[in-house]
Amino acid sequence: MEMKRLFGRPLGRGLVLLALVGTAVAGLQIGTAALGAQATSPLLPAPVVENDSAAQIETFYDTYGGRDTFTPLFRDAVETYMLAEDDVVAGDFATARARIDDVFEKYSMSDPVWTADNAVSGVRVGDIVGYNALRMLDEIARVGLGEPAVEVEPLTFTFVLVECASGVRPATPDLAESEPVDDLVLDQRLVADDYFVLRQSMQLFQMYVWAITGGERYLELDFQHVSECAEVDCCNGGNFAGIRDSDNSIRQLPEDVIEGSDMFLVTYPSSRPSDPVFESVEIVSGAMGSFDGKPNFIGNDTIFLDKDVQHGGEPYTDLERRGQLPNWLQHEYFHHLFNSFEEFDLEPELHLWFERSSWPDDFVGTFESDYFAEALNKRFYTATPSVTERISMATDTDIQSEEDLTGVYRRNPVENDWHTVEIVYENDELIWTNTAGVRCTLHLSSAGLFTDVSCPYGEQELHWQIDSSGNISITNIDGIETFDRVSDE
Ligand SMILES: [Zn+2]
């Protein structure tokens, strides 16, 4: 019986965060204890990624033949998204604002100049030279300079790292035939250095979610490993080769982790064959799914590590990852958002936004991320329920206050008067009374739930369990007696 993980987590963590984040003061330590020395941010939980942007920019230019290899627009765009991300992480929204305004003054938002030939072979910084990242930063800076939200709470983004995979992979470059494969293992570069690659990939998207909720929610990352191998599949028409059933990998997680997650990202070993005949074969490895109505990003391990073969297949530099991955995450997430805001019918057909003529009359702009910004500003922000309400998907399994525990409880089967109990909260005291008339005071604190020393049971620690429907049961420490709440009146 796995009692430990089923029972209540420590009290009040969310409330403490709320107070700290609400003040929006730079430099406060937010979130759970950092793993080692970490920078802090007013709108991100620790640990914050320590990007040395100057060095990352230099490494990027060194890798691709020097700064002069790139057009002025390219250089301005990538350097701006790097430095403006650092600004907003540090809570310096004014400097970020100035940088972003500067770049869009030189090259107007939505202008075709953005899709002029800026490409350098083998480089990948988002679909349009970091444009999506810049528009995300634009939104973050706008919210950061506005009134701080009154209430700020975390959302949980759960990485589901599937350790191994077997099944079938493509055997021919036309993806018509498959062959068995059974020895695929997760690329450990994802795990290295406290998940640095994943944290770096996520950071801008985390702040973007904070922005689109008006600063009411921020995204905490949770990393969960699944040892049961995933089944990989391919060659059923189309060019997808990868995990067959990502839901099955999520189901391997402890129930409280599943319930406590607002979003998932399932990543697993790539099944792309290493044979050179596949070198130029485009294989789709990312997708958006849904688990219990929660967004489920699906991508193999190489999505975070190496560029697509049509972009050279080399490992991402930090600068590229910080432009490309937010672009991917934003794109996939909007599939989910358009589905959540289905009343606006903004994705009547898959990817229809790429068809400019399909846009609603009041939408301005040209590019994908213009469409996303229009959707937010002209539809979602004024919708009911709000963005915050729609994207907060976790079931709250925490007890936040004494009132959460009140109600009538029964120990089944009821064999005597001690097996029916009422818990009330009055005069700041939590009191347990059974049908036999025996009263006992309970104490709830960050240390847990305890019976008072004067109780017939003496001082005992009690545990609570809440399921996804909000049903509560309370058990003594030995797990001998369990009382289920039958009414919260
Ligand atoms: Zn898509």
Spacing, Cα 334 to ligand 1 middle (Å):
8
Q: Which has more pLDDT, 308 or 269?
A: 269
State the pTM of this model.
0.77
What CATH number should be reported for the domain whose range is 402-487? 2.40.128.50
Q: Could you tell me the two tokens for 112?
A: 């075709």
- pLDDT, one tens digit per residue, over 167-215 is 999 999 999 999 999 989 999 999 999 999 999 999 999 999 999 999 9
Beta strands at 217-226 and 153-162: parallel, antiparallel or unpaired: parallel
Label residue 303 exposed, middle or buried (CB < 10 Å: 0-12, 13-18, 19+).
buried
Q: How far apart are CA 116 and CA 292, in angstroms?
A: 42
Contacts of range 421-427, beta carbons closer than 8 Å, 24 or more positions apart = 421/483
Q: Which has more pLDDT, 395 or 20?
A: 395
Spacing, Cα 287 to ligand 1 middle (Å):
7
Q: How far apart are CA 486 and CA 489, in angstroms?
A: 9
Can you tell me whether residue 193 is helix, strand or coil?
helix
> DSSP letters of 215-230?
TSEEEEEEEEEE-SPE
Q: Which pLDDT value is given to residue 470?
A: 67
Residue 104 has pLDDT above 50, yes or no: yes
Spacing, Cα 236 to ligand 1 middle (Å):
19
Q: Is the separation of the CB atoms in 220 and 205 below 8 Å?
A: no
Q: Name every residue whose Cβ is closer than 8 Å to that of residue 29 and which is 6 or more positions away in sequence.
A: 20, 40, 46
Q: Which pLDDT value is given to residue 398?
A: 65
Interval 90-109 mean pLDDT: 97
Spacing, Cα 363 to ligand 1 middle (Å):
20
Spacing, Cα 335 to ligand 1 middle (Å):
7
The single-letter DSSP state of residue 476 is E
Q: Which pLDDT value is given to residue 308?
A: 83
Q: Which pLDDT value is given to residue 120?
A: 86
Q: Which has more pLDDT, 202 or 16?
A: 202
Query: pLDDT above 70 covers what percent of the chain?
Result: 89
> DSSP letters of 281-314?
---B-EEEEEETTEEEEEEETHHHHB--GGGT-P
Spacing, Cα 288 to ligand 1 middle (Å):
7
- pLDDT, one tens digit per residue, over 286-343 is 789 999 899 999 999 999 999 988 778 899 999 999 999 999 999 999 999 999 999 9
Task: Return mean pLDDT, the chain.
Answer: 87
Spacing, Cα 52 to ligand 1 middle (Å):
31
Residue 355 has pLDDT above 80, yes or no: yes
Interval 462-484 mean pLDDT: 74
Which of 318-322, 384-388, 423-427, 458-462 has the lowest average pLDDT?
Answer: 458-462
- pLDDT, one tens digit per residue, over 429-438 is 999 999 999 9
Task: Please name which of 48, 24, 268, 64 lies closest in space to residue 147, comparing C-alpha atoms.
Answer: 24
Q: How far apart are CA 463 and CA 432, in angstroms?
A: 14
Q: How far apart are CA 199 and CA 325, in angstroms?
A: 11
Q: Could you tell me the two tokens for 174?
A: 């036309």
Can you tell me whether residue 51 is helix, strand or coil?
coil
pLDDT confidence band for 462 (50 / 70 / 90): confident
Interval 107-133 mean pLDDT: 93
Q: Which pLDDT value is given to residue 40?
A: 57
pLDDT confidence band for 35 (50 / 70 / 90): very low
Domain layout of the chain by residue ranges: 3-391, 402-487
